[in-house]
Amino acid sequence: MTTPLVGVTADFKEVDERPFHVVGDKYLRAVSDCTDATPFIVPAMGHHLDIPELVRHMDGLVLTGSPANVHPTHYGHEPHERYEPYDEARDATTLPLIREALAQKLPIFAICRGFQELNVVFGGSLHPRLHELEDKLDHRRPQDPDPDVQYGPVHPVSLAPGGLLAEILGRDETMVNSLHNQGIDRLAPGLAVEATAPDGIIEAVRIEGAESFALGVQWHPEYKAPANPDSVKLYDAFNAAVLARKRRKIAA
């Protein structure tokens, strides 16, 4: 069997006033180190991509995190400078990419912004600044230059009894890192809650009725994934679905 291919979504940003398509190394390395697949970068080129054809070549899809927020017009809210930065090139790529991946029953692992994109695609909404809500934790990145502190575990999540995540991790609670401003406001129909933070914020979802791995998490399992037992279990489950997808394509 040839090596499976996993698409990894990119941001579009300017670096020194020049345009770049950017993916954090940790997302690519987690796929490379923790699965049997080869990762490849999906550029944020929107309508310039033949998305159905691109998805046909994939055996899995990782929707990455990002400093940019999903543009509020995609979930019926008004944009505001306080909710920036946005990445409309990424929105124009990932939102149709998710829809096509669902149509082709591709294994999907959605992380942080990708988790939020999943909720938007299914018709849910986001709150752009969770830390401004009175009864919510501050889920933003710790202000420390050390990445091990930034990506260190900061709060527990309760896993839904009998859910996919509880089955994968083999427990009913775990500790996660937290580096997000946005979060789910209205949960979309078609998504089931898999984990919640102590303040009630939804931290993981699955696509109801999905025929393959289709899970989104608000935290960052990709950071030093091989050293984190929970991350290894998550990528193992994703890998099993990717390999199954590859076998079905070969047999077809």
How many Cα neighbours within 13 Å face the side chain of 92? 13
Centre a 10 Å sphere on the Cβ of residue 132 and count the other Cβ atoms it contains. Answer: 11
CA angle 76, 119, 199 (to 5 degrees): 100
Q: For residues 49 and 1, what is the distance between their CA atoms, to the nearest angstrom?
A: 27
- Domain 5-251: homologous superfamily in CATH: Class I glutamine amidotransferase (GATase) domain (3.40.50.880)
Give catalytic status of residue 34 as yes or no: no
pLDDT in tens, 95-152: 999 999 999 999 999 999 999 999 999 999 998 876 776 777 766 777 778 888 888 8
pLDDT in tens, 169-197: 999 999 999 887 788 999 999 999 999 99
Give the tokens for residue 50. 């033949």
Domains in the chain: boundaries: 5-251
Q: Which of 112, 117, 127, 139 is catalytic?
A: 112
Mean pLDDT value of segment 80-91? 91
pLDDT band of 22, cuts 50, 70, 90:
very high
